[in-house]
Amino acid sequence: MTSLVWVIPLLPLAAFVAVTFWGERLPGRGAYVSIAGIVLAGAAGLVVLADVIGGARADVTYTWLTLGTRPLVVGFVVDPLSAVMLAMVGVVASLITIYSVGYMAGDPRYPRFFAYLSLFQFSMLFLVLADNLLFIYAGWELVGLCSYLLIGFWFERPAASRAALKAFVVTRVGDFSMMIGILLLFLHTGSLRFDEIFRALGAGTFGGPTLTLAALLVFGGAVGKSAQVPLHVWLPDAMEGPTPVSALIHAATMVAAGVYLVARAYPLFFLTPGHQALTIVAYVGGITALAGATMGLVENDIKRVLAYSTMSQLGYMFLGLGTLGYTAGMFHLLTHAVFKALLFLAAGSIIHAVGTNDMKRMGGLTRALPVTFWTFLIGTLALTAIPPFAGFFSKDAILVAAYLHDKTLWGLGLAGAFLTSLYMGRLCWFTFAGTYRGGDPEAAHGAPHESPRVMTVPLIILAALAVVLGWVGADVFGNPFARFISFPELTAAPGTLGLVGASLAAAVLGWAAAGALYPWRLVSPAALRQGLPWLYTLLVRKYYVDVVYDWVFVRGGAVIVWIADAFDRYAIDGLVNLLGWLARQVGFGVRVLQTGREETYLLLAALGALVIVVVRLVW
Amino acid sequence: MVGEALAFYLLAAITLASGIVVVTSPNLVHSAVALVPALLGVTGLYILLNAEFLAGVQVLIYAGGITVLILFVIMLTEGATGLRVPQRNEQGPIGAAVAGAAAAVLIAVATRTPWAHGAGVLPSYTPGAIGESFLGPNLLLFEGTSVVLLVTLVGAILIARKED
Amino acid sequence: MITLTHYLVLSALLFGLGLYAVLTRRNSVAMLMGIELMLNAANINLVAFNKYAAPGAMQGQIFALIVITIAACEAAVGLALILAAYRRFETTYVDELDTMKG
């Protein structure tokens, strides 16, 4: 099975081709074919995972072409890391695709949506199985393309088109950095394959500051793709896309690709002098974890709160990886995929019912949407790291690693945990508690009601996973996950009771704060806003990052464009027009020779004769 | 010698003055009539140059035939009636410049070249010499010219004939 | 004393006058008169050269004689053409004969 692993990405690719060309006429207008593609891939992924747990490994290679004397060998690798990703992507994507049948029902471009989903699934599976940087970069770009297509799926809305473009351009910046990094690695190691690069690193032929540079450049790609500061600005806007897209791409899989990349290329970072690169990764992650949480606190759009939450949680994953918590970071990636997808899908169910994203217009939905409510609650508890749900074990592991490495980072993580509970509590309060504030009845076609089973069943499955998945990484059960996925030189440190207690306390305090602000009204949010207006403005304006980018890059770019345009129009076109003008003028001059008027001809004859005579005399 | 010089300058003045009238007069009939003294001036110059036969021919053909012909045509066409019509076209200044330049070049060449003085002397009775020449060395020329005259005769009649 | 140069200058001036008439006059008959002046200027040249530079033969005068003859032919044909054109276009003014003007 493992040597045939390359077939797995081809299944959704085949679905993509089929739905693109024959979508309307296929069963379920293309949806069932797409589902079949990813479910088969997911099932195969689980089989591969079982094999790998049993000890199977594989590296299927293929000599693509020979450049001079150097063969370009590419292939797919099957090891614990890729097997876990394969299974996770397969399962989560399957559930989301099934969910989309309900969510996208009635959309005029229904088949196209499933085609795009299948293309994305192919790209993501291709990316996680890659054993060389070339394939990873290819997959990277493909998922970026799919993200663009899917964010801008409802392209008649100008906000959606702009968001798609913003996502693409911002991640492009990261991709460019990554490309330079890849080239640097190739230059110094002569290969793009991970195993050969790692061998070169181990042999000591490549190291020092250059290695740090290459590692950080590659990390740049992850910063873009995983929406870390400073390339985070595209993720909130990407919520313009349909909610299944937000769940699949911008919560569970594509944004996790950055974390996967760092994990896959870990020796690159680990072997830099003094783990410099890892420190940078950790700090970027930590800052993002805190910044994302603060910005999510003041949003009223339910999806945007979840987007900032995703950004923040991805920051935690990098924080984990960067503080030598290799296992912790990957574990959090896995659990986060499950509960964030759950939260987004449940949010989609809510949006479907009330017709709006605005939390201020929701409320009182516990009775109207029971399944959605309970699954959402489970997801929230998982996210805010309340035991025994999944997030507790993974986030805790990260905080332990952080504490042992750098207390400052631990502090950042703890503050973020507090805020996570706070903003999620706020979100739950506005969305579910109190009385219904009307929503948007027109867009919702009637009063809020529970979603169809095709949407609620995936929610239930994900909720179940959110409950139990954490236990594979729990020290209580011997932490089988750590034995499965770990980095050779590191051992996952078990958490002490004190540390565990601290993180739990932070989370619970956050919930308490939410309670104080909203249901129990001990402190009024309005008073906070008025008491610290500058803080509020700073948060609402997202630390003015978007403003700065707009002025420097967008308007600055516009100036350059204006200069180029002026040059093109006046200098280059001017030159061409000059030639035309010149031709015309010469024409006017030459036209004199053929006026059709006799007196002109006589004059020219006399003049010509005169000139000949004079020239003959003078020369 | 003084007489020759006097005669030359007088004849030159007549010729040039009439020529100016020919080329500038707004009245076409005045132009045509002024052609006569111009051509007669040239006749005088021929006599000064010992070309008596030529002078006679000039009077007969040129001053006589051609000017009359021109006057006929002026009368037959509108030329005599267009007294108030401008006679100069828009090329006036350029034309004057070119003509002036042509004259200047010719004068420059004429005055700067040391002309060789030929040996020999003109025969005193030129008609005889010309006649002998025509029936002798230049017979072909003579006959050819008569053919041209014949053709011209026929051609002019054909062209000017009324179409009906 | 009168030398060849005097005659040459005179004929040059006469030629210039004739050329001016050809180039600037609107009436075709007037242009023809200019042509006659130019031909006469050429004749003066020929005869003068005959007397001063090559008196041994009569070539110059004979040449001038032929020129007069041909000038007469040319005047005849030219005037016939002007007449024909006048009948066709009702004008003798050269700038009004512009059917070939592009």
> Does residue A444 register a pLDDT over 80?
no
pTM over 0.90: no
Chain C residues in contact with B117 (beta carbon < 8 A): 52-53
**Is residue B27 in some structural domain?**
yes
How close are the terminal C-alpha atoms of chain A, in Å?
Answer: 96
- CA nearest neighbour of A137 among A174, A187, A86: A174
Do both B105 and B133 map to the same domain? no
Domain count, chain B: 2
- CA nearest neighbour of C27 among B46, A372, A435, B23: B23
Q: Which residue has the tokens 């009637």?
A: A446
Average pLDDT over residues A273-285: 90
| Chain C partners (3+ C-beta pairs within 8 A) | A, B
What is the rounded radius of gyration, in angstroms, for the C-alpha atoms of chain C?
17
- The verdict on a CB contact (< 8 Å) between A599 and C98 is no
Q: Which residue has the tokens 């030629």?
A: C15
Does B102 reach chain A within 8 Å, measured CB to CB? Answer: yes
**Is residue B134 in some structural domain?**
yes
The percent of residues in chain A predicted with pLDDT above 90, rounded, is: 48
- The verdict on a CB contact (< 8 Å) between B66 and C6 is no
**Is residue B43 in some structural domain?**
yes
The percent of residues in chain C predicted with pLDDT above 70, rounded, is: 97
| Chain A partners (3+ C-beta pairs within 8 A) | B, C
Chain A residues in contact with C24 (beta carbon < 8 A): 599
Q: b vs e for A143-163, b when ≥16 Cβ sit within 10 Å of the residue's Cβ?
A: bbebbbbbbbbbeeeeebbeb
Chain A residues in contact with B95 (beta carbon < 8 A): 603
Does A528 reach chain C within 8 Å, measured CB to CB? Answer: no
Integer Cα distance of A382 and A264 in angstroms: 26
> Does residue A283 register a pLDDT over 90?
yes
Do both B46 and B91 map to the same domain? yes
Do both B131 and B95 map to the same domain? no
Each residue's pLDDT tens digit, A343-400: 999 999 999 888 888 888 888 888 888 899 999 999 999 999 888 888 888 898 889 8
Full residue range of the structural domain in which residue B164 is found: 125-164
> Does residue A290 register a pLDDT over 90?
yes
Do both B10 and B89 map to the same domain? yes
> Does residue A199 register a pLDDT over 90?
no
Which chain A residue is nearest to residue B96, measuring alpha carbons?
A603
Query: Which amino acid appears at position A395 of this protein?
Result: K
- When pLDDT is cut at 50, 70 and 90, the band that residue B42 belongs to is very high
**Is residue B45 in some structural domain?**
yes
- The verdict on a CB contact (< 8 Å) between A599 and C95 is yes
Shortest Cα–Cα distance, A596 to chain C (Å):
4
Chain A residues in contact with B91 (beta carbon < 8 A): 599-600, 603
Query: A265-274, A417-426, A432-441, A478-487 — which one is most confidently predicted on average?
Result: A417-426
How close are the terminal C-alpha atoms of chain B, in Å?
Answer: 62
| Cis previous bond, A480, omega within 30 | no
> Does residue B89 register a pLDDT over 80?
no
Do both B18 and B65 map to the same domain? yes
What count of other Cβ atoms lies within 10 Å of the Cβ of residue A594? 12
Per-chain mean pLDDT for chain A: 88
Q: How many residues does chain B have?
A: 164
The pLDDT value given to residue C17: 96
Integer Cα distance of C45 and C51 in angstroms: 10
What is the rounded radius of gyration, in angstroms, for the C-alpha atoms of chain A?
30
- When pLDDT is cut at 50, 70 and 90, the band that residue A58 belongs to is confident
**Is residue B117 in some structural domain?**
no
Interface probe with B: pick from C73, C81, C95, C101, most Cβ of B within 10 Å: C73
DSSP per-residue letters across A260-284: HHHHHTHHHHHTSGGGHHHHHHHHH
Beta-ladder partners of C93: C27
Within 34-93 of C, beta carbons closer than 8 Å to A belong to: none
Q: Which two tokens stand for residue B37?
A: 């003294």
- Is the separation of the CB atoms in A26 and A32 below 8 Å? yes
Shortest Cα–Cα distance, A603 to chain C (Å):
6
Chain C residues in contact with B96 (beta carbon < 8 A): 20, 24
Beta-ladder partners of A58: A78
Query: Any idea which of A332-346, A547-561, B30-44, B80-94 has the lowest mean pLDDT?
Result: B80-94
Each residue's pLDDT tens digit, A1-40: 666 888 899 999 999 999 999 888 888 888 899 999 999 9
Do both B96 and B136 map to the same domain? no
Each residue's pLDDT tens digit, A150-175: 999 999 999 999 999 999 999 999 99
Q: Which fold has domain C4-91?
A: Helix Hairpins (1.10.287)
What CATH number does residue B61 fall under?
1.20.120.1200
**Is residue B12 in some structural domain?**
yes
Do both B42 and B98 map to the same domain? yes
Within 18-37 of B, beta carbons closer than 8 Å to C belong to: 19-20, 22-23, 28, 31-32, 35
